[in-house]
Amino acid sequence: TLIWGREQRLLRMLTEAEATKQKLTDMLVHDLKNRLSPIMISLSLVRERTSVFEDRELDELLR
């Protein structure tokens, strides 16, 4: 029937939109992680090599 066909098309469109949204989210998360990695590594090196920060302050920065 016409209604069934319309519902199937809408379901297909919704499924495709959800897949696109998931791909975009995955891409954004990946990009953000890549941008934050050097910062996290630098902070870890600071922690290893100096006692400038109190542990509590550095732990806060590393979160």
| pTM (two decimals) | 0.54
pLDDT confidence of residue 26: 95
H-helix segments, 1-63: 2-49, 55-62
Q: What is the pLDDT along the chain (63 residues), one digit of tens a residue?
A: 778 899 999 999 999 999 999 999 999 999 888 888 888 888 888 777 776 656 676 667 666
pLDDT confidence of residue 1: 76
- The span from the CA of 14 to the CA of 34, in Å, is 30
pLDDT confidence of residue 8: 94
Contacts of 52 (CB under 8 A, 6+ apart): 46
